[in-house]
Amino acid sequence: MYTAEFAYKKASSLAEALQLLQQHPEAKLLAGGHSLIPAMKLRLAAPPTLIDIAKVPELREVRLEGNTLVIGAMATYYEVETHPQVRQAAPILPMAIELIGDPMVRAKGTIGGSLAHADPAADLPAVMLALGARMKVVGPSGERVVEAERFFKGMFETDLGEGEILSEIHVPANAGKQAYAKFPHPASRYAVVGVAVVIGPEGVRAAVTGAGSHAMRLTKLEQALAGQPLTREAIEAACQGLLPPNDLNHDLVASRVYRAHLVDVIAKRALLQAAGL
Amino acid sequence: MAEKLFGKAMKRVEDPRFITGTGTYTDDMTLPGMAEAAMVRSPYAHARIKKIDASKALAHPGVLAVITGQEMKEAGINSIPTGWLHPGIKTPPHYPITFDKARHVGDIVAAVVAENRQIAEDAAQMVEVEYEPLPAVSLGSEALKPGAPAVHDDIPDNICFTWSIGDKEAVDKAFASAHKTVKLKLRNNRLVPNAMEPRASLAQYHKASDEYTLWTTSQNPHIHRLLIAAFIMGIPEHKLRVIAPDVGGGFGSKIYQYPEEIIVLYAAKKLGRPVKWTARRSESFVTDSHGRDHETVAEMAVDQNGKITAVRVETIANMGAYLTTFAPAVPTYLYGCLLAGPYTTPHIYCHVTAPFTHTTPVDAYRGAGRPEATYLLERLADVMAHELDMDPVEFRRKNLIPPEAFPYQTPVALQYDSGNYEAALDKALEMVGYQKLRQEQAEWRKQGRYMGIGVATYIEACGLAPSALVGSLGAQAGQWESALVRVMPTGKVEVFTGTHSHGQGHETAFAQVVADELQIPVEDVSIVHGDTGRMPYGWGSYGSRSAPTGLSAIVLATRKIVDKAKRIAAHLLEAAPEDIVHEDGKFMVKGVPDKAKTFFEIALQAHLAHNYPADLEPGLEATHFYDPKNFVYPFGTHIAVVEVDPETGRVKLLRYLSVDDCGPVINPLIAEGQVHGGIAQGLGQALLEEAVYDAEGQILSGNFLEYAIPRADDLVQIEHDHTVTPCPHNPLGIKGIGEAGTIASTAAVANAVMDALRPFGIVHLDMPYTPQKVWQAIHSARKLGQAAD
Amino acid sequence: MAEKVRIKLTVNGVVHGSEVEPRLLLVHYLREHLGLTGTHVGCDTSQCGACTVHVDGQAVKSCTMFAVQADGASVTTIEGLGSPGHLHPVQEGFWEMHGLQCGFCTPGMIMAAADLLNKNPNPSEAEIRHALEGNLCRCTGYHNIIRAVQYAAGKMAQRSAADD
Ligand SMILES: Cc1cc2nc3c(=O)[nH]c(=O)nc-3n(C[C@H](O)[C@H](O)[C@H](O)COP(=O)(O)OP(=O)(O)OC[C@H]3O[C@@H](n4cnc5c(N)ncnc54)[C@H](O)[C@@H]3O)c2cc1C
Ligand code: FES
Ligand code: FES
């Protein structure tokens, strides 16, 4: 029930957070704590220092900048889910967030925390891939912006380097018709398979979570649908054998073969919903 | 006349404390000077303990003691006994802390006591245990194979006991001459009870008087006191007080005598300080006794008319690593004896083999044996009906015991007291609109949608227990119940019961009945339970015994009070006791309404007693020990309607409906609540829950991230009604309702899922019907179908 | 031992200043330091919701939050929601509709339900079921919990209509 001991530092600005990270290289950032604290309670993680960035004002803002929705990394699920501009500009976000955990989880968990954690069964990484979002990262050597594609690298592994903080997520506003469909784990309710699709002017972007070591684009699907009218038949035909089972996760709930099948089914459902069919 | 409260949906009197967060559960308690304990548990299912080095833990600031099994054994702490013996049963020792070998993941190897829980948990990780891991076995049938690793060295074949009931020869004959037979291989999945309150125990030792007090999460504090005092610690019973304060659900898992209770008692004396231990949920998963876990071959035979002629059952019932308090009773008397179900089956034979395995002990979980029996019978009934090309309802109707057959003697020891099974079935069918639903199902199928309708008709034997009967069956104790009713000088009444309420609402339902019997306001009645220091001996609550057995004792004690009150009234009114009537809340001389005394006046005079005649004892209290003449036999019909998504294999519950008969209902709010909760648990078994072990004996679903219990969105509002067939042999005619929901719902949901899968030619799948399993079955069936085309 | 941290927070309207170990979970702070044992612990994986309290007006799982994270916050526990005689409509609903049996999940369930009704005063049955996904109850089968929340929603609507 108890975590190991740790020292607690609270940052009140982004600059202070960066400085604290410099001083405590072995520290972990604490955002909503809803991935980190459960892991610490089970003593799967025992960071000697936590730097709490949840209340850093610069990291909490959600705003529309031209055609980009800027989401502060420390905005909570709840704040984003209920934000009127988000609902307008990127309806897939509230749609996916509604299916994350439960209201208490959504009250504390943050968008940035989820993306930085890169849990292979987390929902938002797939959504960000489908949206073509970009991650703004600040670190000792300044700022950089990373495409979602390049951000998720492996199981719990991102492009974030030592001393770096994910500060903002830049989401293209009004990217097209969009939907997220999820097959939840019966116990944990994380995604066994979740598929996000955005039907934009350039075609379909689709991404899957839960299937492999990290969220990934469903390129085969995107290609199969390229240049095609999105009819039910076309969608059904395209959603076949999207991922080879051999590379997929497997656990008590879903074998590789079943998971591969679920990817096809959930992708189809997300597409049908996005296309309004 | 005061309003009669029997049958009234009264709000519960216990609720104000719970809805305001002021209940007192064991872990809520803190005593001055209290230390806290954490357990060092084996990470291996089977390992020899070679060495325990506690030096680092002992050196950790705040650590008070590290206790080992060796130390407790040397201090004279004995093994934990089991309470139900079969001829030839093996009862290997179960020491609170093991010292030779660990026999399941979670087996306690040492206990750390420290100033607080944090320190205890930190230090528990510092205790260095050198293990020699040994091969383990987790599945019952595997444990029975030659060469399987032995759980206990002196039981090389792992067989705890074998047991059988019924006339094998007659059954074999019936099968040989049957019109049709069906055979199913079934696995009744292992479940983790998961009462929402994790177990906790707090012990205090009073040096001056050499007395102990134990607060613990228990359904039956008296059983703990008996087992601990007489068998485990060898202390005088009156030197141990066991209190079960508010308890957050039990479902069987809080019946048993657990090691941690002994450890905190021992530590409290050793340290001279109160010691508390509270389980973390992941500890609960590996230490609370599990439920079910059967591997069974079940067969049914019928004649040309579709009448069941015989049932034959061979079961392997996994006992886990040690025998807990009631374990041997569950897959035998509570299972084999129930295999007639509600049917007129003339010949039944059941043979059970119970092996030890390197897993958490298995004992009673809500329903205990009866859900297993019902599941098996109801699956057989559906498969047979299909074989006979009959509607499953018609098959059941043909075989139900008719109302005029009661009392009905089954071929497996029980005599059913009363019943009208077809009436409950008809009511359920009408409520659900059965014919229409079947038509709808046919239409859905044309559209490629798979609705399933599952019916389960059930009976259960509960109200544990007629002592002589269970004694003859192997119980080492009768299971009568006691009650003490104490009227105070002000006319307020305290009722002490040996049963225990951990959600069942006894404080309300029992008070309703007592208020009726004494014709006093219900606010004047207080039900006291869960404290061996306050009430006579009792056996606690499980097996739906509290109302039929516990309340019967209360009613009979209350009637003694009324008798005595009449005699007091007669004295006060200068009349003959025979002339006193108890009406409108008064004791009056028959036909002379102004010659009357109120209950208050009598209670006061009973205590003032200054001008009593010589033959009248002062005071007004009565004790009654009630031993039921028979079990009680609730029954009913449950119907589940589900939809299976063939693409994902996911099962969705569309409707659930139950008609139950538990005799007259004391408080419909409470009775229905019991049914709802039971149904949810049964549905959990059918769709979600399974304690999965790997071949090495590691549990793979050992927390709520992996083990799914039903959540709000897994269920629907339940449609419920009842019929009333009184029990002929207890004072109120009541039966039990605590387990009915669980007993019937697993079978109803299972039958519904299988009904939905019928178009694919799928005859049987084992629970739980997880999406993967259902999809896999559909997928294979389709492939087969394609191959055939 | 890690350095203790000073925190100041308001719990049920009362301001508390304490020195706590950073690893102290909010739930243990409430139970062990403040004696508010109405908030329960039912699991160690953040799944059961027995520990639900309101922090700055929103339901959270107090087992998945350190007390230090609540520094400066206003916390409401079941003890502060309402009291006998002055029950919150959700508490009243649970009593009226028999929304509890053993009572262990109840404080968390009530706090989650109150949060739902703050956010959505007139939820459908499906919305109630979805909103209570993070609260496990092993006793009631949720049937009467749903009715309790519906009762409370009705009651609150009546009250606000009366206020208008
Ligand atoms: C009961 C429960 C159910 C859940 N169900 C789901 C679900 O269905 N779907 C789902 O997707 N998730 C689910 N989650 C996880 C939840 O969404 C987490 O909140 C989220 O994954 C992490 O966000 P956080 O803000 O809580 O991050 P934290 O737990 O605080 O941090 C997570 C990790 O990210 C690092 N980090 C945090 N912020 C930054 C930053 N700005 N820059 C760099 N590194 C950073 C931290 O150091 C830490 O290593 C569930 C959690 C719980 C407890
Ligand atoms: S205690 Fe279970 S979620 Fe907090
Ligand atoms: S009332 Fe017992 S867990 Fe909900």
Amino acid identity, position A111: I
Give me the tens of pLDDT residue by residue for chain A, a chain 277 residues long.
Answer: 689 999 999 999 999 999 999 999 999 999 999 999 999 999 999 999 999 999 999 999 999 999 999 999 999 999 999 999 999 999 999 999 999 999 999 999 999 999 999 999 999 999 999 999 999 999 999 999 999 999 999 999 999 999 999 999 999 999 999 999 999 999 999 999 999 999 999 999 999 999 999 999 999 999 999 998 999 999 999 999 999 999 999 999 999 999 999 999 999 999 999 999 9
Determine the Cα–Cα distance for residues C46 and C28; give it in Å rounded to an integer. Answer: 14
Check if C5-81 and C89-163 are the same fold: no
Query: Using the beta-carbon criterion (under 8 Å), do C87 and B12 form an inter-chain contact?
Result: no
B505 touches chain C (CB under 8 A): yes
Rg (alpha carbons) of chain A, rounded to whole number: 18
By CB neighbour count within 10 A (0-12 exposed, 13-18 middle, 19+ buried), where does A244 fall? exposed
pLDDT for B212-240, tens place per residue? 999 999 999 999 999 999 999 999 999 99
**Could you read off the pLDDT of B440-462 as tens digits, one per residue?**
999 999 999 999 999 999 999 98
Contact present, A33 and C66 (Cβ < 8 Å): yes
Provide φ and ψ at B466, rounded to 5°.
-60, 115
| Measured torsion, CA atoms of residues B439, B440, B441, B444, in degrees rounded to the nearest 10 | 130
Tell me the count of A-B CB pairs closer than 8 A: 44
A104 shares contact with chain C (CB less than 8 Å): yes
Q: Which CATH number does the domain C89-163 belong to among 1.10.150.120, 3.40.50.150, 3.30.420.40, 3.40.50.2300?
A: 1.10.150.120
Q: Output A37 or B787, whichever has higher pLDDT.
A: A37
Look at residue A269 in the predicted model and tell me its pLDDT. 98
* Burial of residue B153 (number of CB atoms within 10 Å: 0-12, 13-18, 19+): exposed
pLDDT higher than threshold 60 for residue B781: yes
C157 reaches B (C-beta below 8 A): no
Name the residue among B86, B13, B642, B7 with its Cα closest to residue B332: B86
The pLDDT tens digits along chain C (164 residues) read: 578 999 999 999 999 999 999 999 999 999 999 999 999 999 999 999 999 999 999 999 999 999 999 999 999 999 999 988 899 999 999 999 999 999 999 999 999 999 999 999 999 999 999 999 999 999 999 999 999 999 999 999 998 888 77
Q: Let me know if domain C5-81 sits in CATH 3.30.1390.20.
A: no
Q: What is the pLDDT of residues B656-689, one digit of tens each?
A: 999 999 999 999 999 999 999 999 999 999 999 9
Helix (H) or strand (E) holding B202: strand B200-206
Proximal ligand: closest to the CA of A34 = 1
Pocket flag, ligand 3, residue C104 (CB < 6 Å): yes
Amino acid B207: pLDDT = 96
Distance from CA of C43 to the nearest CA of B (A): 5
The amino acid at B218: S
Answer whether B773's CB lies under 8 Å from B651's CB. no
Q: Is C34 on the interface with B (CB under 8 A)?
A: no
- What gap in Å lies between CA A76 and CA B30, rounded to an integer? 37
Q: Do C141 and B246 touch (CB under 8 A)?
A: no
Contacts of A5 in chain C (CB under 8 A): 1-2, 21-23
| B1 pLDDT tier (thresholds 50, 70, 90) | very low
Q: Do B705 and A255 touch (CB under 8 A)?
A: no
Q: Quote the minimal CA–CA distance from A143 to chain C in Å.
A: 28
- The reply to whether residue A262 touches residue B648, judged by beta carbons under 8 angstroms, is yes
What are chain A's partners, defined as 3 or more CB pairs within 8 angstroms? B, C
Domains and CATH numbers, chain A: 7-52 (3.30.43.10), 57-172 (3.30.465.10), 177-275 (3.30.390.50)
Cβ-based contacts of C25 with chain A (< 8 Å)? 1-2
Who lines ligand 2 at CB under 6 A?
C 41-43, 46-51, 61, 63
C56 in Cβ contact with A78 (< 8 Å): no
Q: Which of A177, A175, A92 is nearest to A126 (CA)?
A: A92
More confident call, B287 vs B479: B287
Residue of C138, C143, C146, C149 best suited for mutating to test ligand 3, as the one with most atoms within 8 Å of CB:
C138
| Cβ neighbours of C112 in A, within 8 Å | 103-104
Residue B219, helix vs strand vs coil:
coil
* CA angle (B440 as vertex; B434, B442 as ends), nearest 5: 105
Q: Which residues contact B89 (CB under 8 A, 6 or more apart)?
A: B160, B161, B328
Distance B780 CA to ligand 2 centre (A): 40
Cβ-based contacts of A8 with chain C (< 8 Å):
2, 5, 22, 66, 68
ipTM for the whole complex: 0.97
What value does the mean pLDDT take over residues B604-619? 88
Contacts of C110 by beta carbon, 8 Å cutoff, 6+ apart: B19, C78, C81, C88, C90, C91, C94
Which of helix, strand or coil describes residue B106?
A: coil
Q: Quote the pLDDT of residue A88.
A: 95
**Token pair in block for residue B753:** 């899922």
CA B369 to chain centre: 10
CB < 8 Å to B713, chain C: 126, 129-130, 132-133
Domain extent listing, chain C: 5-81, 89-163
Q: Is the pLDDT of residue B528 over 50?
A: yes
Residues 6+ apart with CB under 8 A from A232: A272, A277
B718 CA to centre of ligand 2 in angstroms: 27
| Minimum-distance ligand 3 atom for the alpha carbon of B248 | 2
User: What are the structure tokens assigned to A105, written together?
Assistant: 């989880």
B260-276 per-position pLDDT tens digit: 999 999 999 999 999 99
CA angle B571/B575/B578 to nearest 5° reads: 100
Contacts of B200 (CB under 8 A, 6+ apart): B25, B26, B27, B216, B217, B276, B277, B278, B279
Is the pLDDT score of B179 beyond 60? yes
The shortest C-alpha distance from B282 to chain A (Å) reads 10
The closest residue, in CA terms, to atom 4 on ligand 3 is C137
DSSP alpha helix (H) spans, B216-341: 221-226, 259-271, 281-287
Which residue in A has a C-alpha nearest to residue B778's C-alpha? Answer: A258
Report which ligand 2 atom has the smallest distance to the Cα of B281. Answer: 2
Atom index in ligand 1 nearest the CA of residue A39 equals 29
Residue B768, preceding peptide bond in cis (omega within 30° of 0): yes
| pLDDT recorded at residue B2 | 66
The torsion region of residue B642 among left (phi > 0), alpha (psi -120 to 50) and beta comes to: beta
Quick check: A187 and B707 CB within 8 A? yes
The pLDDT-based confidence of B786 (bands split at 50, 70, 90) is confident
Contact A183 B772 (CB under 8 A): no
Which of B648, B700, B701 is facing A265, going by the closest CB pair? Answer: B648
User: Between vectors from CA B746 to CA A184 and to CA B784, what angle results, nearest 5°?
Assistant: 65
- Which domains, from first to last, does chain B contain? 31-134+197-248+254-287 (3.90.1170.50), 294-464+630-788 (3.30.365.10), 480-626 (3.30.365.10)
| Interface subset of C 132-161, CB within 8 angstroms of A | 132-135
In angstroms, rounded to a whole number, what is the distance separating the alpha carbons of residues B764 and B747? Answer: 12
Question: How many contacts, defined by CB atoms under 8 Å, are there between B and C?
Answer: 182
CA distance B134 to B407: 53
Q: Which residues on adjacent β-strands are paired with residue B659?
A: B637, B721
**Which pLDDT score is estimated for B614?**
81
Q: Which of C19, C23, C26, C117 is best to mutate for the A interface (most A CBs within 10 A)?
A: C23
Buried b (16+ CB within 10 A) or exposed e, B39-65: bbbbebbbbebeebebeebeebeebbb
Judged by a CB distance cut-off of 8 A, whether residue C130 touches chain B is: yes
Does B652 lie at the interface with C, CB-CB under 8 angstroms? no
pLDDT for the residue B547: 82
User: pTM above 0.95?
Assistant: yes
Q: Which pLDDT does position B738 carry in this prediction?
A: 87
Task: Please state, in angstroms and rounded to a whole number, the distance separating the CA atoms of residues A159 and A180.
Answer: 24
